[in-house]
Amino acid sequence: MKISTDLAATDRRGMLAQLDPEQWDRLRALCSDIRNIPPRTTISVAGEPLDHSLLLLDGIAVRYVGSGPSHRQMVALQVAYDFIDLHALPLQRLDHDVATLTSATLAVFPHDALQRLVTEDKELALRLWRMTLIDAAIHRQWTYRVGGLRALAGMAHFFCELDYRLVSSGRGGEDGYRLPLTQLDLGDIVGISEVHVNRTLRQLREAGLCTFQNGFLQIHDRPGLSRTGHFDASYLYGGDAVP
Amino acid sequence: MKISTDLAATDRRGMLAQLDPEQWDRLRALCSDIRNIPPRTTISVAGEPLDHSLLLLDGIAVRYVGSGPSHRQMVALQVAYDFIDLHALPLQRLDHDVATLTSATLAVFPHDALQRLVTEDKELALRLWRMTLIDAAIHRQWTYRVGGLRALAGMAHFFCELDYRLVSSGRGGEDGYRLPLTQLDLGDIVGISEVHVNRTLRQLREAGLCTFQNGFLQIHDRPGLSRTGHFDASYLYGGDAVP
DNA sequence: CGATATTTTGACATACCTCAATGGCGGTGG
DNA sequence: CCACCGCCATTGAGGTATGTCAAAATATCG
């Protein structure tokens, strides 16, 4: 009872805005469970076969590659209403690890049920495909950010992307958003060391662009931050569009 | 006549190995044209609506982001039997530019015909979805390579990935493969400057791992190169698997 | 053969990393 | 309430990887 109530209560924000109301109705009927996961918990590891996919309802999750000697690199960050690992449906296993950063609420969708639904409902299948492709577009932008931008621009770019996506998912605010990451986490995202994160954040602060403090990012100058990060939101395909 | 003959003649190698023979038969029937494109030619640019997708039959094509002040960053490199922009089918437009590096042969698939086929043939639709997801897995690995690895390791990683994919597509060889890129191109891929590419290539050569010369990469020590690049091919999902 | 692109090398500048120390801040147990 | 501890943020100093500029050497192509 509680399960379907919970999912019904969530309106289709963020990435789920890709779906029609009826499509969302059909999809959420398949939810088998809702789980609360503590912060800093590994959800799934690379290589293991998966029989379900997870929709993030609240909190922040990350996907990352490389736990060995080379410092781990985050390859994706998921926010509310993102499917974390929908690509495991056609692929059956993951090529990366998934973990929560904050405490998180997850909706579980068994693959056999999903499989049946996408076979019946072609239009929904296409929308789900599309959602995974927007994920891929974000991947491309991350490659650009870590490979083509310097630390300052890269950090700004990341903050801009997340601002855009969080506003769209109802977690953003006028002057910024809650972002309970450590500076080490930010380093794994931008591809720089913890110490250099600190210096970069100071630069952004002293430039009057934004302040990252106490798990909150305060944006002072959106256009300036956007410019510094060479950020252009069109790669989000309105999938995380601000209405 | 010539068109279908050409496509029939190509066996299902590389990424196309994802398809059954019958699926490939149904798909290739939709090919409306085969085009030969000269090297260094822009095929499509970000933002423009697309009514077709392209299958690369021969040559090398790249996708890249950022043409402005920040140096452009390549986000994908496509080899024979790769769909270059299949994601344009659900997304309708691209978030990046596409260009040839070498002269290339392309098979054109109109979106309206593709759309009809994936609506009828659910299994094929799933396979195509899967192909775009392997693309996404490669994107993640590129983010890892560019953000998590140093120049030497990154270059080695790239060479390993391409080795794997080219062998799978029938373009690879025992001792290496043809790779007609300039050192500037390599820089755009690995995220380093042209000059540093040169230094890095020398390091790889002097370490006895590989030699890049005259548009050919000669691999002297595959295991060593793999180790240097922290390369693990499992993210390719056998999609580009060596048989 | 000249003209142009590409590779190679050197010298220097700088972005970033690593190591190390310090300080803040929230818990936890006495 | 205080002492202590562990995690995180901050700062400094010095090292290294990489970028930039410029020139020479070499390949490529008409």
What is the per-residue pLDDT across B136-159, written as a single tens digit (0 to 9) for each? Answer: 999 999 999 999 999 999 999 999
Paired with B58 in beta bridges are B105
> How many residues appear in chain B?
243
- Mind telling me how many Å the CA of A124 is from chain B's nearest CA? 11
Mark which residues 148-187 of B lie under 8 Å from A by CB. 148-149, 153
A38 three-state secondary structure: coil
A46 at interface of B, judged by CB pairs closer than 8 A: yes
Q: Quick one: pLDDT at residue B129?
A: 97
Q: What is the pLDDT of residue B106?
A: 95
Substitution target in B95, B185, B228 with the highest count of A β-carbons within 10 Å is B95
Residue whose token pair is 């720089």: A192
Nearest-by-Cβ selection for A70 from B95, B148, B234: B148
The CATH number of the domain holding residue A113 is: 2.60.120.10
Residue B8: per-residue pLDDT: 72
Predicted pLDDT at B238: 77
Interface A:B, Cβ pairs < 8 A? 145
pLDDT tier at B68, thresholds 50, 70, 90: low
- Domain boundary (A142, A171, A192) is at A142
pLDDT score for B11: 77
Please check the confidence at residue A165 and state whether its pLDDT lies above 90.
yes
Q: Do residues B76 and B154 both lie within one domain? A: no
Pick from A144, A200, A124, A211: which is nearest to A176 by CA? A211
> Under DSSP, is residue B8 helix (H, G, I), strand (E, B) or coil?
helix
- A111 and A188 in a single domain? The answer is no
Q: Which residues of B4-27 are buried (b: 16+ CB within 10 A; e: fewer)?
A: eeebeebeebbbbbbbeeebbeeb
The mean pLDDT of A12-29, rounded to a whole number, is 92
Spell out which residues of chain A touch residue B47, defining contact as CB-CB under 8 Å.
234
Quote the domain boundaries for residue B96. Answer: 2-142
Look up residue A163 and give its amino acid: D
Cα distance from N-terminal residue to C-terminal residue, chain B: 31
pLDDT at residue B166, as a whole number: 95
Co-location of A98 and A158 in the same domain: no
The answer to whether A121 contacts chain B (CB < 8 Å) is no
Asked if residue A98 and residue A13 are part of one domain, the reply reads: yes
B33 and B136 housed in the same domain: yes
Q: What is the pLDDT confidence band of residue B69, given thresholds at 50, 70 and 90?
A: low
Q: Read off the DSSP letter of residue B243.
A: -
**Token output for A119:** 């076979």
Q: Work out the average pLDDT over A46-57.
A: 95
pLDDT for residue B138: 98
pLDDT (0 to 100) of residue A239: 57
Three-class SS state of A2: helix
Residues B172 and B111 in one domain: no
Answer yes or no: do A137 and A155 share one domain.
no
Region class of A214: left (phi > 0), else alpha (psi between -120 and 50), else beta: left
Between CA B181 and CA B60 the distance in angstroms is: 9
Paired tokens of A224: 């300036």
How far does the CA of residue A5 sit from the closest CA of chain B (Å)?
31
A132-158 pLDDT, tens digit each:
999 999 999 999 999 999 999 999 999
pLDDT in tens, B170-211: 898 899 999 999 999 999 999 999 999 999 999 999 999 999
Number of domains in chain B: 2
Q: Which residues pair with A99 in a beta bridge?
A: A42, A62
Helices (H), chain A: 2-9, 21-28, 88-91, 111-120, 122-148, 151-168, 183-190, 194-206, 222-228
Q: How large is the average pLDDT for residues A171-184? A: 94
Residues A34 and A136 in one domain: yes
Give the model's pLDDT for residue B5: 53
DSSP letter for each residue of B163-232? HHHHHHTT-B-SSEEE----HHHHHHHHTS-HHHHHHHHHHHHHTTSEEEETTEEEES-HHHHHHHTT--
Token pair listed for B182: 């300039």
Average pLDDT, chain A: 92
Domain boundary among B125, B142, B159: B142
The percent of chain B in helix, strand and coil, each rounded to the nearest 5, is 45, 20, 35
Residue A4 has pLDDT above 70, yes or no: no
Residue in chain A lying closest to B238 (CA): A91
> Are residues B116 and B41 located together in one domain of the fold?
yes
Give me chain B's average pLDDT, please: 92
CATH number of the domain that B176 lies in? Answer: 1.10.10.10
Q: Give B42's pLDDT tier (boundaries 50, 70, 90).
A: very high
Identify the domain boundary among B108, B142, B176.
Answer: B142
User: How far is Cα A42 from Cα B243, in angstroms, rounded to an integer?
Assistant: 33
Residue A110 to residue A87: CA distance in whole angstroms: 13
Report the pLDDT value the prediction gives residue A66, as an integer from 0 to 100: 82
pLDDT given for residue B239 in this prediction: 57
Going by pLDDT thresholds of 50, 70 and 90, the confidence category of residue A241 is: very low
**Whole-number pLDDT of residue B241:** 46
Q: Which of B243, B233, B240 is nearest to B18 (CA)?
A: B240
Tell me, yes or no, whether A187 and A159 share the same domain. yes
What is the pLDDT at residue B67? 74
Q: Is residue B33 domain-shared with residue B100, that is, in the same domain?
A: yes
pLDDT given at position B212:
97
Rg (CA), chain A: 18
Of A84-88, A89-93, A109-113, B69-73, minimum mean pLDDT range: B69-73
In this predicted structure, the answer to whether residue A68 has a pLDDT above a threshold of 90 is no
With cut-offs at 50, 70 and 90, classify the pLDDT of residue A69: low
Residues of B in contact with A65 (CB under 8 A): 140-141, 143-144, 148
B203 and B166 fall within a common domain: yes
